[in-house]
Amino acid sequence: MKHPMLTILLTAFVISLHCGCLRALPCPPMPDLKNVTEFICSSPTLSEFPSGFPKQTRLITVEFTNVSIIGVDSLRALPDLQELHLSNNKLKTLPNSLFRYLPKLQAVDLTNNLLRDLPPGIFRNNTALKHVALKGNRLAVLRSVWFETLRQLQFLDLSENLLAELPPFCFDTLENLTSLDLSYNRLRELSPRIFAGLASLTGLNLEGNHIQTVQEKTFRAVPNLQFVFLQNNSLANLPAKIFQSLDFLEMLDLSQNRLTSLDPEFSDQVTEMSLDLSENLWVCDCRMKALLDWVKSRSINLLSKKSTICASPNKLKGREIASLKPDDFGSC
Ligand X SMILES: *[C@@H]1O[C@H](CO)[C@@H](O)[C@H](O)[C@H]1NC(C)=O
Q: What residue ranges bind ligand X (CB under 6 A)? A: 35-36, 44-45, 47, 66, 68, 100-101, 103, 125, 152, 175-176, 208, 232
Helical spans, DSSP H, in 19-159: 144-147
Q: Residue 148 or 175: which CB sits closer to ligand X?
A: 175
The DSSP bridge pattern shows strands 155-157 and 179-181 to be parallel
Q: Torsions phi, psi of 61, nearest 5? A: -125, 115
Q: Residue 259 or 291: which CB sits closer to ligand X?
A: 259
CB of 318 to ligand X, least distance (A): 20
CB of 315 to ligand X, least distance (A): 29
Q: Residue 124 or 287: which CB sits closer to ligand X?
A: 124
Q: Residue 125 or 237: which CB sits closer to ligand X?
A: 125
CB of 153 to ligand X, least distance (A): 9
CB of 176 to ligand X, least distance (A): 4
CB of 316 to ligand X, least distance (A): 25
Helical spans, DSSP H, in 1-46: 5-18
Max Cα distance, the chain (Å): 83
In 3D, which of 307, 297, 259, 253 has the Cα closest to residue 275? 253
CB of 152 to ligand X, least distance (A): 5
Question: To 5 degrees, how large is the angle CA 271–CA 228–CA 142?
Answer: 160
The DSSP bridge pattern shows strands 107-109 and 83-85 to be parallel
Q: Residue 186 or 296: which CB sits closer to ligand X?
A: 186
Q: Residue 38 or 109: which CB sits closer to ligand X?
A: 38
CB of 241 to ligand X, least distance (A): 27
CB of 254 to ligand X, least distance (A): 14
Which region, left, alpha or beta, applies to residue 197 given φ > 0 means left and ψ of -120 to 50 means alpha? left
Round to whole Å and give the CA distance between 16 and 283. Answer: 45
The DSSP bridge pattern shows strands 25-26 and 227-229 to be unpaired
Question: Per-residue DSSP letters for 194-257?
Answer: TTTT-TT--EEE-TTS------TTGGGG-TT--EEE--SS------TTTTTT-TT--EEE--SS
